């Protein structure tokens, strides 16, 4: 897996400012991702997969009337349907309370998880909903004629336009959110309540990232010891 390069606060700001000047949908999406730490799939939705058959993956032992026997062990074969499900709808956002419900995968099933929205994000989302006349069952973070892949690639466009010479993906917003909370001393238990991680153990990687990122500051302080 390719490691995500950490973007600075200034670089994140450059990308979001450029999106604000260029495309209202991108601006709303990027701002929401940056301030919630949520996955793009939780906002956009996931592609439904269907079981189309079985494949043999080996043998397994079973007992019938006390007699040991071997039978074929199979696993399902899945195919992407091209149909997207879940994702955030207008009705999933409480603009008065400043909360948003997203679907997260936990224990092999999707359940709704609540996250908080900053007043600035509430304002931007509210304006977008009104301007585009979205109904309660309309998806907020999907746009006609813009696929999931295209949305994921938009951040690369803005990175190039603003002169950021790093490997940038849409995951950078989640990466930045978690890293900044780590820097501020947030515990893993608190962070997972905001980000929807399955366990605190997954966040251990960010301990290393924060330590590496703070190297220059640490070296400066150590010199004065």
Mean pLDDT across 141-152? 91
Q: In the 8-state DSSP scheme, what is residue 186?
A: -
Q: Assess whether pLDDT exceeds 60 at residue 2.
A: no
Q: Assess whether pLDDT exceeds 50 at residue 35.
A: yes
- Phi then psi dihedrals of residue 214, to 5 deg: -95, 10
Q: What percent of the chain has pLDDT over 70?
A: 88
14 occurs within a structural domain: yes
Range from 76-90, 109-123, 157-171 carrying the lowest mean pLDDT: 76-90
184 occurs within a structural domain: yes
Q: Are residues 167 and 199 in the same domain?
A: yes
CA pair distance 55, 118, nearest whole angstrom? 48
CA pair distance 10, 27, nearest whole angstrom? 16
Domain membership of residue 155 as a residue range: 9-44+136-223
186 occurs within a structural domain: yes
Q: Are residues 140 and 30 in the same domain?
A: yes
Give per-residue pLDDT as tens, 90-126.
999 999 999 999 998 877 788 898 999 999 999 999 9
Tokens 């997203």 sit at which residue?
102
Residue with the bigger pLDDT between 209 and 184: it is 184
Q: Are residues 76 and 185 in the same domain?
A: no
CA pair distance 101, 93, nearest whole angstrom? 6
- For residue 59, the model assigns a pLDDT of 85
Q: What percent of the chain has pLDDT over 90?
A: 49
Predicted model pTM: 0.81
Q: Assess whether pLDDT exceeds 80 at residue 202.
A: no
Q: Are residues 40 and 57 in the same domain?
A: no
31 occurs within a structural domain: yes
Quickly count: other Cβ atoms within 10 Å of residue 180's Cβ: 15
Terminal-residue alpha carbon distance, the chain? 39
208 near 43, Cβ under 8 Å? no
Residue with the bigger pLDDT between 208 and 160: it is 160
- Phi then psi dihedrals of residue 198, to 5 deg: -75, -30
Q: Are residues 161 and 52 in the same domain?
A: no
Q: Are residues 39 and 54 in the same domain?
A: no
Sign of CA dihedral 132, 137, 139, 145: negative
R_g over Cα of the chain = 22
Q: Are residues 219 and 141 in the same domain?
A: yes
173 occurs within a structural domain: yes
- For residue 212, the model assigns a pLDDT of 67
Q: Are residues 68 and 170 in the same domain?
A: no
pLDDT band at 1 (very low <50, low <70, confident <90, very high): very low
102 occurs within a structural domain: no
How far CA 201 is from CA of 52, 133, 148, 176, 206, in Å, comes to 35, 42, 28, 18, 10
Q: Are residues 161 and 192 in the same domain?
A: yes
Mean pLDDT across 11-28? 96
Q: Assess whether pLDDT exceeds 70 at residue 10.
A: yes
Q: Are residues 140 and 211 in the same domain?
A: yes
- For residue 151, the model assigns a pLDDT of 92
Q: Are residues 16 and 79 in the same domain?
A: no
Nearest CA to 10 out of 198, 176, 214 is that of: 176
Mean pLDDT across 180-187? 84
- For residue 217, the model assigns a pLDDT of 66
Provide the number of structural domains found in the chain: 2
119 occurs within a structural domain: no
128 occurs within a structural domain: no
29 near 47, Cβ under 8 Å? no
């Amino acid at each position: 897996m390719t490691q995500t390069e950490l973007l600075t606060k200034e670089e994140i700001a450059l990308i979001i400012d450029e999106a604000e000047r260029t495309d209202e949908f991108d601006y709303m999406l990027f701002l929401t991702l940056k301030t919630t730490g949520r996955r793009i799939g939780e906002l956009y939705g996931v592609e439904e997969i269907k079981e189309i058959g079985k494949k043999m993956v080996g043998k397994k032992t079973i007992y019938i009337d006390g007699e040991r026997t071997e039978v074929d062990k199979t696993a399902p074969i899945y195919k992407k349907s091209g149909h997207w499900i879940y994702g955030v709808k207008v009705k999933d956002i409480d603009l008065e309370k400043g909360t948003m419900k997203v679907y997260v995968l936990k224990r092999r099933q999707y359940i709704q998880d609540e996250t908080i929205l900053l007043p600035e994000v509430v304002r931007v989302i509210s304006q977008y909903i009104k301007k585009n006349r979205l109904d309660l069952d309309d998806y907020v973070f999907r746009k006609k004629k813009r696929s999931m892949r295209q949305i994921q690639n938009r951040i690369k466009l803005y990175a190039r336009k603003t002169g950021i010479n790093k490997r940038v993906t849409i995951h950078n917003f989640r990466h930045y959110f978690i890293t900044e909370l780590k820097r501020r001393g947030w515990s893993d238990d608190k962070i997972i309540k905001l980000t929807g991680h399955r366990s605190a153990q997954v966040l251990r990687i960010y301990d290393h990232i924060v330590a590496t990122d703070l190297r220059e500051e640490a070296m400066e302080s150590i010199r004065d010891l």
